[in-house]
């Protein structure tokens, strides 16, 4: 009976809070903390925890670790288009299976959820527009590169990307255009397509009531070609155990799991001269 009363009080608390709630999103954290304080009181009356959020997060983290280990066991004869947009040195470390401290990695445990939400949005847009092809796998044997394009219609190549509502002004990211330029180059040169326009579609990840926005760009063959030439350099590095150059974009390093190897590289080179530095640009 006590439990039912406490539960009713909790509902009443939430309802009252709703009525008085004229706060904006900035105050959401305060509300959550307030609610947690109340629910902790409720919890004190019970010895059992119905939903253990720490256990939930541990499990999510373990799944991310398992996925990482699984990914490392794949045989990957081609460089992927998305790898060409990242730090080549990081790709080298990853593919050469350099050790990382798995327990102290993957702090953002909701990564998989975020990816699943993205996949659902992608699929929804792909299935509800008259694209002629979606999720087309493309391979360039010449450049040892493989990838998948989101959608094609006539001479248009489409890429579907997420953006949060607050970041909408900064939605456009040059890397998205590069990614499509590589895809368009492979389509035109290996599959006889005539792609001349790239369309980036951004869906608002945290507000599905808003319309997606889109931008059209003229396809520039030189951009795609330059990245694909880098694919051959990276491929050569991997084949010959040569360490590629670091990324010159500091943002790439922010969440990099291989920082410790990069920071110690010079000393490491003195001790172990097996690897040479090869410049990618």
Binding site for ligand SF4 (CB under 6 A): 87, 89-90, 93, 246-247, 252-253, 256, 258-259, 262
| Cα–Cα distance for residue pair 110/130, rounded to 1 Å | 32
Give the nearer residue to ligand SF4 in terms of CB position, either 19 or 248. Answer: 248
Tokens 């947690």, located at residue: 36
Query: Min. distance of Cβ 253 from ligand SF4 in angstroms?
Result: 3
Question: Measured between alpha carbons, how far is residue 117 from residues 63, 107, 154, 159 in Å?
Answer: 17, 19, 28, 16
- In b/e form, how buried is each residue of 47-61, taking b as 16+ CB within 10 angstroms? eeeeeeeeeeeeebb
Where do runs of H (alpha helix) occur along 163-246? Answer: 174-190, 221-240
Query: In the complex with ligand SF4, which residue's Cβ is closer, 225 or 246?
Result: 246
* Closest separation in Å from C-beta 201 to ligand SF4: 28
Residue position matching structure tokens 């730090």: 87
Q: Provide, rounded to whole angstroms, the least separation between the CB of residue 92 and ligand SF4.
A: 8
Least Å distance, CB 259 to ligand SF4, is: 4
Q: Strand, helix or coil at 213?
A: strand
Select 119 or 264, whichever has its Cβ closest to ligand SF4. 264
Nearer to ligand SF4 by C-beta: 117 or 253?
253
Cβ proximity to ligand SF4: between 88 and 147 the closer is 88
CB of 255 to ligand SF4, least distance (A): 9
Residue for token digits 């590169």? 145
**Cβ atoms of 230 and 92 closer than 8 Å:** no
Closest separation between CB of residue 280 and ligand SF4, Å?
11
Considering the complex, state which of residue 76 and residue 194 has its C-beta at the smaller distance from ligand SF4: 76
DSSP 8-state symbol, 241:
T
Strands 243-244 and 277-278, bridge-based pairing = parallel
């Amino acid at each position: 009976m006590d439990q039912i009363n406490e539960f009713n009080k909790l509902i009443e608390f939430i309802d009252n809070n709703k009525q008085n709630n004229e706060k904006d999103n900035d105050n959401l954290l305060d509300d959550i903390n307030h609610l947690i304080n109340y629910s902790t009181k409720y919890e004190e009356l019970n010895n059992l925890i119905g939903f253990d959020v720490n256990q939930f997060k541990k499990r999510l983290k373990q799944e991310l670790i398992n996925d990482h280990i699984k990914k490392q066991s794949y045989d990957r004869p081609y460089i992927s288009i998305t790898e060409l947009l990242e730090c080549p040195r990081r790709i080298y470390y990853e593919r050469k299976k350099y050790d990382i401290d798995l327990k102290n990695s993957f702090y953002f445990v909701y990564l998989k959820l975020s990816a699943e939400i993205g996949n659902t949005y992608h699929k929804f847009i792909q299935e509800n527009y008259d694209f002629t092809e979606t999720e087309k796998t493309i391979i360039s044997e010449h450049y040892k590169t493989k990838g998948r394009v989101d959608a094609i219609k006539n001479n248009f190549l489409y890429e579907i990307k997420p953006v949060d509502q607050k970041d909408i002004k900064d939605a456009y990211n040059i890397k998205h255009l590069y990614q499509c330029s590589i895809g368009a180059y492979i389509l035109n040169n290996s599959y006889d397509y005539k792609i001349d326009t790239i369309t980036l579609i951004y869906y608002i990840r945290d507000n599905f009531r808003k319309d997606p926005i889109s931008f059209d760009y003229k396809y520039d063959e030189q951009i795609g070609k330059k990245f694909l030439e880098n694919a051959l350099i990276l491929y050569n590095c991997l084949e010959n155990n040569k360490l590629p150059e670091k990324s010159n974009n500091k943002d790439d390093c922010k969440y990099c799991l291989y920082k410790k190897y990069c920071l110690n590289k010079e000393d490491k080179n003195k001790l172990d001269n097996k690897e040479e530095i090869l410049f990618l640009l």
